[in-house]
Structure 1
Amino acid sequence: MPLITLTVRRPKTAQFKSDVLDCVHEALKHVGVPATDKFHRVLELDADDFRFDPTYPDAQRERSDDFVLIEVLWSVGRSVTVKKQMVGFLMTQLAAKGFDPEDVMVVFKETQWENWSFAGGRFIHT
C-alpha cells in the first residue's frame, strides 16, 4: 500500500494537484499496485515553508515554483528496477501533461509489512 505525499509551493490549482496525483497513481499501477490502493495527500506550503535548491545535485535547468516533491511510502521488497520503471513511466506521464520533469523529485521510503494497519486496528500482514 503506497502512501503518496505531494509537497508543492502555494498556490497550486486543484487541476495541477489532481494531474500530478493521477500521474503518480498511473505509474504505481504500471508497476503492479492495485487500482483501488489509492491513498494520496497534498501539502501545499508557502515559499518560506518549502525551500529547495534550484539545481542540486544534477538538475539540467533551475527548478521553478512548480517544483513537486513526491514521497512514496511503501512496503519493502521492490527492486531498483521496479522503482526505475515507476519513475520513468511517471516522468513520461507528467511530460505528456505539460510538466517539466526537471521540476519533479521522487523519494521512496520503505517500511516493513507489519507496520501497516489499514482499518479497524487489524494487521493483515502479520
Structure 2
Amino acid sequence: MPLVRIDLRRGKDSAYRQNIGRVVYDALLSVGVPEKDRFQIVSEHDAGDFLFDADYLGIQRSDDLVIIQITWNEGRTTAQKQALFKAIAEGLHETVGLRREDVFISLVEVKRENWSFGNGIAQYAV
C-alpha cells in the first residue's frame, strides 16, 4: 500500500536510481509492508526546479539530496517510523554512498479506504 515518490537532481544514472528504489522497498519490508507491494515514482529535476535549504535544522545538505515521500496507511508506531528512517538512510549510505544528511523523508498517513489498486474498487475498504 505505500506509494513512494523519490525526487533528486538530474544527472544520476539508472542504476543509482534503481538502487535507491530497492533500498526504500527493502526498508519498507523491514517494518511490515507486504512483499510485492512496490509502487514507486522516481523523478529527476534540474537544479532550478529542485529547491531546498542547505542547512535547515543544522543539517548540512549537498546537491545530492534525495527527497523521499511515502504515502501509506496510518497506524504505525513512532518506533516503526524511526526504524524506517534509519533503515533508509543507512541503506542508501551503504548501497549508493549517499550521505545520511542528504536523505530527506516525509511520511503521509492515510486511511485504508483511500486506496484503489485498480478496477475502480477500494480494495481495503471495510
Pairwise TM-score range, normalised by the shorter structure: over 0.9
Could you say which residue in structure 1 is the equivalent of 2:104? 105
Q: SS of the counterpart of 1:86?
A: helix
Task: Tell me the SS of whatever aligns to 1:15.
Answer: helix
Residue equivalent to 2:82: 84
CA distance in 2, matches of 1:113, 1:63: 34
Residue 96 of structure 1, CA deviation: 1.1
Unaligned runs of 5+ in 2: none
Q: Give the residue type in structure 2 aligned to 1:14.
A: S
- SS at structure 1 position matched to 2:58: coil
Question: 2: CA distance between counterparts of 1:38 and 1:63?
Answer: 28
Secondary structure in structure 1 of the residue aligned to 2:56: coil
Deviation at 1:16, TM superposition (A): 1.4
Q: CA deviation at 1:40?
A: 0.4
Deviation at 1:58, TM superposition (A): 2.9
Using the TM superposition, give the Cα deviation of residue 92 of structure 1 relative to its aligned residue in structure 2, in angstroms. Answer: 1.7
Give the TM-score normalised by the residue count of structure 2: 0.94
Cα-to-partner distance string for 1:36-87 (whole Å, 9 max, x where unaligned): 000000111111111111110131xx32221000000001111111100111
Equivalent of 2:65 in 67, 72, 75? 67
Moved over 6 A (4+): none
Aligned position for 1:15: 15
Code of the aligned partner of 1:84:
Q
Separation in 2, partners of 1:105, 1:91: 9
Query: Which letter does structure 2 place at the counterpart of 1:67?
Result: L
Q: CA RMSD in A?
A: 1.0
Give the paired residue count: 124
Q: Give the unaligned 5+ runs of structure 1.
A: none
The residue aligned with 1:31 is 31
Residue 57 of structure 1 aligns to a residue in which SS?
helix
Q: Distance in 2 between matches of 1:101 and 1:2?
A: 22
